[in-house]
Structure 1
Amino acid sequence: MSIDESTAAKVASLARIRVEAEELPALAADFNRILGFIEQLGEVDIDGVEPMVSVTPMKLRLREDVVTDGGQPEKVLSNAPDAREGFFAVPKVVE
């Protein structure tokens, strides 16, 4: 995939970044270098490689999945500015 100047201008517009016309060739070249690097990463053979949690070797702490402090809906809802029928009530934001 190759990014031309018009595509770079559109990306800049979508990202709400002002890019002057004389800077567009350099921006398109940067995008092309980034995409080339991503394509190189796609060629790496990762068969048999375990997923990592961190770049430093560490184990995830596992714990039993149990409810430790529940069954208090009245207490939780007492903090709500508006609660109805056992739920938090919020203003409608989607018409």
Structure 2
Amino acid sequence: MAISRKEIEHIASLARLDSSEGIFDRLADDMQGIVGMVDKLAELDLGDITDVIDTERKNAFHEDAVIQEYTPDELIEPNAPDFQAGGVAVPRVVE
């Protein structure tokens, strides 16, 4: 499929693009390259490829279950260098 300069100008007018004259030829070449790449996909032999959608699976979700609950103190205290009164003590930085 060839894309002409006239088609690019029409697309630009539909999109209300204000472009200089020199850009339309370059855009036509770029669009032609893109269409060429898409046309190349049609050459692929996809005969041995099976469907990738699992139509047998009805529900892939599972029930959420709580394994073990922790309080914030149980999580923070063993990992904090200085844990005091339910929080992490940090050095004073303001005089």
Give the SS at the match of 1:43.
coil
Cα distance between partner residues in 2 of 1:52 and 1:15: 37
Matched residues, number: 58
* Cα root mean square deviation, aligned: 2.1
Q: Would you say 1:21 and 2:34 are equivalent positions?
A: no
Aligned to 1:62: 58
Cα distance between partner residues in 2 of 1:10 and 1:26: 15
Identity of aligned residues (%): 28
Q: Deviations over 1:35-56 (max 9, x none)?
A: 1111101111111213446xxx
Correspondence 1:70-89 to 2 at 5 A: none
Q: Deviations over 1:9-62 (max 9, x none)?
A: 111222333322110010000110011111101111111213446xxxxx6862
Q: Would you say 1:38 and 2:38 are equivalent positions?
A: yes
Unaligned runs of 5+ in 2: 60-95
Cα distance between partner residues in 2 of 1:62 and 1:19: 52
Unaligned runs of 5+ in 1: 54-58, 64-95
Cα distance between partner residues in 2 of 1:62 and 1:6: 51
Q: Deviations over 1:62-84 (max 9, x none)?
A: 23xxxxxxxxxxxxxxxxxxxxx
TM-score by length of 1: 0.50
Maintained 8 Å contact 1:9/1:24: yes
